[in-house]
Amino acid sequence: MTVITNIEDLRVLAQHRVPRMFYDYADSGSWTEGTYRANEADFQTIKLRQRVAVNMENRTTATTMIGQQVAMPVAIAPTGLTGMQHADGEILGALAAKKFGIPFTLSTMSICSIEDVSQGTGGHPFWFQLYWMRDRDFMGRLMDRAKAAGCPALVLTLDLQVLGQRHKDLKNGMTAPPKPTIANIINLMTKPRWCLGMAGTRRRGFGNLIGHAKGVSDMTSLSSWTKEQFDPKLDWNDVEWVKNRWGGKLIVKGIMDAEDARLAAQSGADALVVSNHGGRQLDGAPSSIEALPEIVAEVGSKIEVHMDGGIRSGQDVLKAVALGAKGTYIGRAFLYALGAMGEAGVTKALEIIHKELDITMAFCGHTDINTVDKNILLRKAW
């Protein structure tokens, strides 16, 4: 039996259990994957100051993200096709987040629908992520469905006006619907646990889209609809439209530049996420953790700054907080855990990250996550 001690253990297990096309979909970046790798590697260049003879009793990692109480400054990021990493994956992820006391964010491109997740979690509130689309009527109906489910926050993704090229997806025939190539069929035959899980659920399509978007009745019709929907004309006036149409807490995701951060702060959004889409869009962009300090310096007093990209441990969370992030998001760490062990895997990942965060914070001389700042860092990374 494998002893799970860190996120890498979960990644290895997921790679063994999840069909290659779906594992590669999660574990890949665009073009050379340089930015994808930098997201994780750049955390390792930031060193911590160890302190001693400090009372380490009564530690707490509890804080808030956009006014919501959280057990630690971590949310589960919106990830597409989550339900193809593990049957009913979005429901299982939301359940684990609910029990741990952190936010779960459901992607527009999820397998389980808004209504599925709401029902599966007993109506527990979760955040919903929205893409800007040409069909504003459909966007409005998505927002209305999220409101009806009690979603307290909307995460608007700004960095998918055009789609980055991911070589692994092209080689694997990762389309909607996926291409049933001989190689893929042979690979599926080596994943009996996954196949059994998928055979036991009715949720195998894009639940938020099929039967809801105009002209989308099945996976085949979805493919042509999706290609037409990403809108390259998105601008800040559109963000204002979403803010007014939604009427609740708005988080804008995909900010990597100080000028864009200023515009985000002026847009009326409640928070921004420093994010390069996990290195899946502009290859050659800086890592998220490298971009974070300048953005915090520019707008940190005006808008709540969050970040995602490369977080694989509680130490990474602590470093991001030290550089000014009020919250962080885990995407791949969540998907590895889900693919490896379902809900139990996600719970295990959250426990690992929390323990690493708590112990590292103590070694750095702090007992409250809300007192952590750049002074815990040895290297000047700001």
Q: Which residues are annotated as catalytic?
A: 277
Report the distance separating Cα 327 and Cα 371, nearest Å.
14
Q: What is the CA radius of gyration of the chain?
A: 20
Helix (H) or strand (E) run with residue 144 in it: helix 136-148
User: How many angstroms separate the Cα of 378 from the Cα of each of 174, 299, 319, 325?
Assistant: 43, 24, 11, 18
Classify the C-alpha dihedral 8-13-18-19 as positive or negative. Answer: positive
> What DSSP element (H or E) covers 10?
helix 7-17
Which regions of the chain does DSSP assign to beta strands (E)? 63-65, 68-70, 74-76, 105-106, 127-131, 153-157, 249-255, 271-274, 304-308, 327-330
Q: Give Cβ neighbours of residue 132 (< 8 Å, ≥ 6 apart).
A: 139, 156, 157, 158, 160, 161, 230, 231, 234, 238, 242
Residue 33 CB coordination number (10 Å)? 17
Alpha-carbon distance 312 to 323, whole Å?
Answer: 17
Tokens of 62: 């509890």
CA 164 – CA 33 distance, rounded (Å): 11
Residue with tokens 């994943």: 191
3-class SS string, 50-79: CCCCCCCCCCECCEEECCEEECCCEEECCC
* Residue type for position 126: F
